[in-house]
Chains A and B, each alone.
Chain A
Amino acid sequence: MTVALSDILIGVFSTTLQLSPFYLFAGMGEIVSEQSGVANMGLEGIMLMSLMTTFVVDYMTGNPWVALLAAIGVAAVIGALFAFTAIRLRMDQIASGLAIYLVGLGLSFVIFNTVYPSGLTPNYIPLPSLTTNWNVIPYVGIIFLKQNVMAYVSLVLVVVTAFFLTRTSLGLRVKAVGENPKAADNMGVNVNKVRFLATLFAALTFGVAGFYFAGNFVPGFQTDVIAGRGFIVLAMIYFANWKPYRTLFAALSFNIVYAAQNEYVTLSGFGVASVSTLFNMLPYVFLLALIPVFGRKARVPKFLLKPYRKG
């Protein structure tokens, strides 16, 4: 059986557009947070909690929008807790981030397992596609119209974040407290308040990313279901030098590589699983290869990971 090249390309592009928003939501939040000087390594833990909340609330209410609100709410609570430990208590951000990850990894499954001990759940009701008859336009329809609205919200968020960081006074203050908190403080900026807001914003985007994961990546909740994809966001924004549009590029190219190898592995139907796992490494190796190329010029926010104490 031969498969038309156009079908392959459609498959690759529609998968890319379907998967990238997860990285974009989380990436924009982590950019803002890290620009302010706070790195949240616990992002995958927060996402796991939001993802679990999404499924449970969706099953119970049948309404994905309510699930989205609940996912954001859970993320906000954990994010505020992280912000308190990292900013107010000046804890080591990496250590407390990893602790948040461990709590999220464990607690998400403990709660899910308590609510659905047998693992049998109702059907997950996803957000609808942009239009129900996305079939009407050939090629374009399946790539662009089959996605749900959150995919486009993520693209808008990239534009908004870029605008926010370069053109608004709050955005400039965010960068100032990450670059030189002392000077910002002298100029009358409340350093820790700005950092708290940036960290909280990041947590909200992790909540949305966790919500988006449901349906688009997996049909249901399992243990450790995000499987490191949250941590990949850290690599993406690092490679993108904390720039929103470059993160968009990183996310799209990572997912094109992912989708292409996925399509190839599926089509060639390797009898043994062995070769396919080598291909699975490609998107990650691709990101790694970019680090010496682009990461070389990386300009890390000067006070990233450094808590600020007034006076």
Chain B
Amino acid sequence: MRANTQGLRWLRTTAYNAFAIGLGILAGLLVVVYAGGNLGVALSSLFLNPITLSGGVQQIFVRFILFYTMGMGVGLALKAGLWNIGAQGQLLIGMVLVFVAYSFLAFLPWPVLYVTMILGAALGGLLWIAVPTILRVKFGANEIVVTILLNVVAINFAFYMLSGPIKSTGTALGFPHSVELPAQFQIPNIVGGFPITYAVPATIAMGIILYLVVERTPFRVKAETVGESHETAKYAGISIPRVMTITMLAAGALAGLAGATYLMGYRYELDIGSFSTNYGLVAIICALVGRKNMLGIGFASFFFAYMTIGAESMALSANVTTYVVFAMEGIMMIGILLGNYLTERKYAL
């Protein structure tokens, strides 16, 4: 009986989520058609371009890795009731540290430096989130406010590093950017010319490991109890500062790590173009859609990777600004929250 209710509930949630996503897509289509775009072209751009356009499949997996890695961090902190709005800042610091390691630790032998660059990015994100973590745990300062402030600081800091310490000396003109990582520091493709790198299976493996470590151990209950009520957690003898610190630091490290896979697996160089899009917010949406579950976030991330590329391509097909994608994401998010509300109302005691 209980299993039946659970199944029905799952079905209902899925239906609502699909409806919410449909609503967002509909809004995007309306804008595109209003701007004079052809409905058929828009639909085929949205659904087919991500796989038919050259580089589309690569883009899907690049974003999937970004959203999944960052989203797991956001979801982990959310389990403990903590909002990491600063994933974007941690991502940027991670990216910067990849090049800091590359430029300043160049004396290290190749395999050591390679690993250092990846771990350095994770360490950068971890250090960046250590500030809100300490302020939260020691001073009770709200983590939302602090992570928001640190996003602005991160952008300025990254810009400073990029126009000074890690700037490519070869370019006098144009916007500052770093050097390009040479081939031996790029994450290779699994199969020759097919642009899917080893970062993809590595990320999925990390997702499964995190699923086993987080969802299949008492840690999940601990974190969720802290997230639900500090009173209850205290009563149950759970160390609240410990749970907060672990989830927050892991969130920062994951966002930083995403910076390494993005740069070493796809972009190879850092420029201010990498600062413009707020992937941190998409990571939050993925964490919510995936219901904070380490595997659920993976499916949500893959979907949003596909959808955002399709939606951008759809916007371009009708000469509409790609900013329409943000509006679509916002509408989807509201719709998903509405679906949660309707499900809870139906099954609330």
Residues of A within 8 A of B (CB): 41, 45, 85, 89-92, 94-96, 98-107, 109-110, 113-114, 223, 228, 231-232, 234-235, 238, 272-275, 277-278, 280-281, 284-285, 287-288, 291-292, 295-296, 298, 300
CB neighbours of B160 from chain A (8 A): 274-275, 277-278, 281
Query: Nearest CB to that of A309 among chain B residues?
Result: B348
Roughly how many angstroms separate A114 CA and B35 CA in the complex, as a whole number?
7
At the interface, yes or no: B211 with Cβ under 8 Å from chain A? no
Interface membership of chain B positions 144-166, coded 1 if the CB is closer than 8 angstroms to chain A and 0 otherwise: 11101111110011011001100
Check A109 against B149 for contact (C-beta < 8 Å): no
Interface membership of chain B positions 208-250, coded 1 if the CB is closer than 8 angstroms to chain A and 0 otherwise: 0000000000000000000000000000000000000000000
Check A99 against B153 for contact (C-beta < 8 Å): no
At the interface, yes or no: B331 with Cβ under 8 Å from chain A? yes
Query: Nearest CB to that of A82 among chain B residues?
Result: B334
Known: A91-B337, A232-B149. A296 touches B140 (CB 8 A): yes
Instruction: Select which of B135, B153, B328 is within 8 A of A284 by beta carbon.
Output: B153
Check A235 against B330 for contact (C-beta < 8 Å): no
Main secondary structure of the interface of B (DSSP, over half): helix
Check A235 against B145 for contact (C-beta < 8 Å): yes
CB neighbours of B135 from chain A (8 A): 291-292, 295
CB distance from A4 to the nearest CB of B (A): 30
CB neighbours of B325 from chain A (8 A): 106
Residue from B144, B152, B167, B329 with most neighbouring chain A CB atoms (10 Å): B152
Extra contacts, 14 of them, besides A89-B338, A272-B163 (Cβ < 8 A), are: A89-B337, A91-B341, A98-B85, A98-B284, A99-B330, A109-B321, A113-B320, A113-B321, A277-B156, A281-B160, A295-B140, A295-B141, A296-B140, A298-B141
- Which residues of B144-198 have CB atoms within 8 Å of chain A's CB atoms? 144-146, 148-153, 156-157, 159-160, 163-164, 167, 176
CB neighbours of A114 from chain B (8 A): 34-35
Check B281 against A102 for contact (C-beta < 8 Å): yes
Interface membership of chain B positions 311-335, coded 1 if the CB is closer than 8 angstroms to chain A and 0 otherwise: 0000000001101111111110110
Query: Nearest CB to that of A86 among chain B residues?
Result: B337
Check A106 against B326 for contact (C-beta < 8 Å): yes
Residues of B within 8 A of A (CB): 31, 34-35, 83, 85, 131, 135, 138-142, 144-146, 148-153, 156-157, 159-160, 163-164, 167, 176, 281, 284, 288, 320-321, 323-331, 333-334, 337-338, 340-341
Check B330 against A291 for contact (C-beta < 8 Å): no
Check B151 against A228 for contact (C-beta < 8 Å): yes
Instruction: Select which of A106, A275, A287 is within 8 A of B330 by beta carbon.
Output: A106
Roughly how many angstroms separate A114 CA and B327 CA in the complex, as a whole number?
15
Check A103 against B330 for contact (C-beta < 8 Å): yes
Check A292 against B141 for contact (C-beta < 8 Å): yes
A-B contact pairs, 15 of them (CB 8 A): A92-B337, A99-B330, A106-B326, A109-B321, A110-B321, A228-B148, A232-B149, A273-B159, A275-B160, A280-B156, A281-B152, A284-B149, A291-B135, A291-B145, A295-B135
Query: Nearest CB to that of A238 among chain B residues?
Result: B145
Roughly how many angstroms separate A110 CA and B320 CA in the complex, as a whole number?
7
CB neighbours of A98 from chain B (8 A): 85, 281, 284, 333
Known: A281-B156, A300-B142. A103 touches B331 (CB 8 A): yes
Roughly how many angstroms separate A94 CA and B143 CA in the complex, as a whole number?
12
Query: Nearest CB to that of A103 among chain B residues?
Result: B330
Check B330 against A288 for contact (C-beta < 8 Å): no
